[in-house]
Amino acid sequence: FLCTFISIAMALFDQLHDEWQKALSDYRPLVSTIDSLIDKSEVTPAYEDIFAAYQLPPSAIKVAIFGQDPYPTPGYAHGLAFSVAANTQPLPASLRNIFKELESDCGVKAASNGNLQRWADQGVFLLNQILTTRPTQSLAHEDFGWQEFTAATAKVVGKSGAIGIFWGSKAQHLAQYFDPTLSISSAHPSPLSTYRGFFGSKPFSKANEMLRAQGKSEISW
């Protein structure tokens, strides 16, 4: 019971991987403020999953994919951008489009399991600009200050020499922190914008080509 109590009581900033706590130490007060604004019983992803992406330390990031805000459908978001829990069906439209582009780009058959932890385990950092929302309501926490925190995060990742993939105009604001030769930008995979340049953008093969040029192992998408 004590362990359960400690994890619930742990301040949000302390849920970051140690490397992230060090890299973003100046932002502890901001996260504390955001923490005070969050209603833990009315938040998605679940409170303990808000920093799921940050369990991958900066030193292990090879590719970063940036999104906008979490899926508002209750039970969908679990802290990794675009990802859903393994048993979530049907898959969100954006994720289905990501898998369509992956199949077109690399010949990888569309997965029925939408949990992208398998990418994170290989060094893919999946981050939304806004990390929380209220269930059923998009952008409910748009004014909490998350964008300042995730911009600082992007700066750390960009400095590390990681490859950045930016889907949609909001995510593309973060490209300024990355080497232009290591940046891949396109329209968002949402059904509203896929045909404006997401389909055919080949982000997965391009990222692997860049990794090869860096002498790093490719991602098995």
Active-site residue list: 69
Closest CA to 52 of 84, 22, 25, 74: 84
Cα 36 from Cα 130, distance rounded (Å): 16
- CA-to-CA separations, 147 to 31, 65, 99, 120, 127, in angstroms, rounded: 11, 15, 27, 21, 11
Q: Contact, 158 vs 178, CB < 8 A?
A: yes
Q: Contact, 162 vs 61, CB < 8 A?
A: yes
Determine phi and psi for 124, rounding to 5 degrees. Answer: -100, 120
Cα 22 from Cα 38, distance rounded (Å): 23
User: SS3 for 42?
Assistant: coil
Q: How many beta carbons lie within 10 A of that of residue 32, not counting itself?
A: 12
As a whole number of Å, the CA-based R_g of the chain is: 17
The answer for residues whose C-beta is within 8 angstroms of residue 95's C-beta and 6 or more apart is 82, 83, 84, 114, 189
